A and B are shown apart, each in its own frame.
Chain A
Amino acid sequence: MKTGSPILISRADPFPKSLWPRVATVALVVYVIYACAQMEISWERVQTGLANAAHFFARLFPPNFARHELLVRGLLESLQIAVLASTLGILLALPIGLAGARNLMPPWASWPARALIVLARSLHPVIVAILFVKAVGFGALAGVLALTVASVGFIGKLFTEAIEEISSKQVEAVRATGAPFPSVLAFGVMPQVFSRFIGFATYQLDSNLRNSTMVGIVGAGGIGGTLFAAFQRFDYDFVCAILIAIISLIMLGEVLAAGVRAIFIDNATLPELFRRRGLPRRDRLVEDE
């Protein structure tokens, strides 16, 4: 045998090629093509669509802020719907989410709580809003109730999961001191999930702000109703003004949420928040190449 030549030993391929992912990829591509054909999405259809879009966008500009009173009133109502629904939703989601955590609660408590959360999550907020409009009538109350349901579903689910992921060692230590159950929650559980809970809550406020601009379309209060009316009357310049206002509101909400997170999670003080201007610096986990 020549020295230096590799000795070939037959071994199992360390990266075996599996068949099923390939079959699935091919199947997905085929289905996408089929679906396009089925719905008559052709190049011609895209072209006529684009022409119409150009016409539409031309009519959007310049935005018309003449009816700013109507605009501001709608925005404020949306804001109120979002804040009320978030507050109510968070207050309800705390006990329900806690009850759903299987590592702390017996099955007779966790299963009903989980069922409630699944129920709250199963329908889209717009559908829930329609239900509430039918039940309690047109206006902001229906919007608040609809978004409360959505908040309970979202925060409740994430809160339950956060509690189920906590370190049992810390809880065990608090339990071993003879602490009663509510004190175990206060000292062993809450500190571990509090910052995540603040994260969920601010994210939900953000999401409620967005959704509160939409529930008006089905008559549940807020700027959405104004927007829908403007669409119907082809007041596209007013539509544009409303869209700009909504985008500004959402961006403002984003900044506020980031501030709340910085205060609760990174322990920033209010002056610090203004001094450093902008989001807290994050250490990168990778280096530049």
Chain B
Amino acid sequence: MPNSLVIRGLTKEYVPGKPVLSDIDLAFGETCINAIIGPSGTGKSTLIRCINRLVEPTSGEILFDGADLARLVGTPLRQARRHIGMVFQEYNLVERLTVMENLLCGRLGYVSAWKAWRRKFPTEDIERAFQLLDVVGLAGFAQRRADALSGGQRQRVGIARAVMQEPKLLLADEPTSSLDPKTSVEIMQLLADVARSRDIPVLINMHDVDLATRFADRIVGMSGGRVVFDGAPAGLSDAMLKQIYGGEDWLQ
């Protein structure tokens, strides 16, 4: 897999002296579906958001595509973000825009602002958007407004928007936490299909351990802002889960 992401010594402190992430070292690129599991508030979300700089890292390096993402500012940062697709827990679609416009948001990094204001997107972008709607199972929804969709449909649009960017890396911040169990599996399947067909690594934060072990090639377990497990799902023992989440009653 050509697109590797190397994180070295990544630390994030929202409040000085209280690190949410402490000295994280991780490398992605060998495996396609990477699940990051851990209790709430352990810095999974912060880790993902440091990578595309929606959150500013306090220190450390994030090497991707020949640049240190942690150091970029201005136009180089924007250009790096174009290659990193992101899927959000609450979908984060622009509610009052149509499905098509939401998909084309994924092209905003490539289209001039003047053309974007006038909705003058290249024909091939629009054609690809229609094809992607077929792929995610929303053919015929192009002109629907995003606020008229169900949760599962919204997340499909969210994934399609990320894929519109032609990303070299996909980030997903708890993409299934707001969805019912059946839809969660479908969304995970879609994410996995998309990542495998494009041969790009995807980093998925999640709560659901069963879903993670079912789909992931590799699982990173986090606790207290540190990586405590890193390996294939098969190696994730009950003892390990106990260490990640603490307590054991929930394992019964």
Contacts from A to B (Cβ < 8 Å): 167, 169-170, 172-184, 186-188, 191-192, 194-195
Q: Interface residue tally of chain B, by bracket?
A: 20 to 34
Does the CB pair B165–A177 fall under 8 Å?
yes
Does the CB pair A173–B108 fall under 8 Å?
no
B67 within 8 A of A: no
What distance in Å separates the Cβ of B149 from its nearest Cβ neighbour in chain A?
Answer: 14
Does the CB pair A177–B161 fall under 8 Å?
yes
How many angstroms between the C-alpha atoms of A180 and B83 in the bound complex? 14
What distance in Å separates the Cβ of A104 from its nearest Cβ neighbour in chain B?
Answer: 15
B105 contacts across to A, CB distance below 8 A: 173-174, 177, 179, 187-188
B94 contacts across to A, CB distance below 8 A: 170, 173-174, 187-188, 191-192
Does the CB pair A186–B113 fall under 8 Å?
yes
A-B contact pairs, 23 of them (CB 8 A): A170-B92, A172-B92, A173-B86, A176-B52, A176-B84, A177-B82, A177-B85, A178-B79, A178-B81, A178-B82, A178-B84, A178-B108, A179-B105, A180-B109, A180-B113, A182-B113, A183-B113, A186-B116, A187-B97, A187-B101, A188-B94, A191-B97, A194-B96
In the complex, which residue of chain A has the Cβ closest to the Cβ of B167? A177
Does the CB pair B95–A170 fall under 8 Å?
yes
A169 contacts across to B, CB distance below 8 A: 88, 90, 92
Does the CB pair A187–B108 fall under 8 Å?
yes
A167 contacts across to B, CB distance below 8 A: 95
What distance in Å separates the Cβ of B69 from its nearest Cβ neighbour in chain A?
Answer: 12
Contacts from B to A (Cβ < 8 Å): 52, 54, 78-86, 88, 90, 92-97, 101, 105-109, 111, 113-114, 116-117, 158, 161, 165
| Interchain CB contact (< 8 A) of A177 among B81, B90, B117 | B81
In the complex, which residue of chain B has the Cβ closest to the Cβ of A181? B113
Pair count A-B, CB < 8 A: 90
B85 contacts across to A, CB distance below 8 A: 177
Extra pairs beyond A180-B113, A194-B96 (9, CB < 8 Å): A170-B92, A172-B54, A172-B88, A173-B92, A173-B158, A174-B94, A183-B111, A183-B117, A187-B94
How many angstroms between the C-alpha atoms of A181 and B97 in the bound complex? 18
Does the CB pair A170–B93 fall under 8 Å?
yes
In the complex, which residue of chain B has the Cβ closest to the Cβ of A194? B96
How many angstroms between the C-alpha atoms of A217 and B83 in the bound complex? 63
Does the CB pair A186–B117 fall under 8 Å?
yes
Does the CB pair B116–A187 fall under 8 Å?
yes
B97 contacts across to A, CB distance below 8 A: 187, 191
A173 contacts across to B, CB distance below 8 A: 86, 88, 92-94, 105, 158, 161
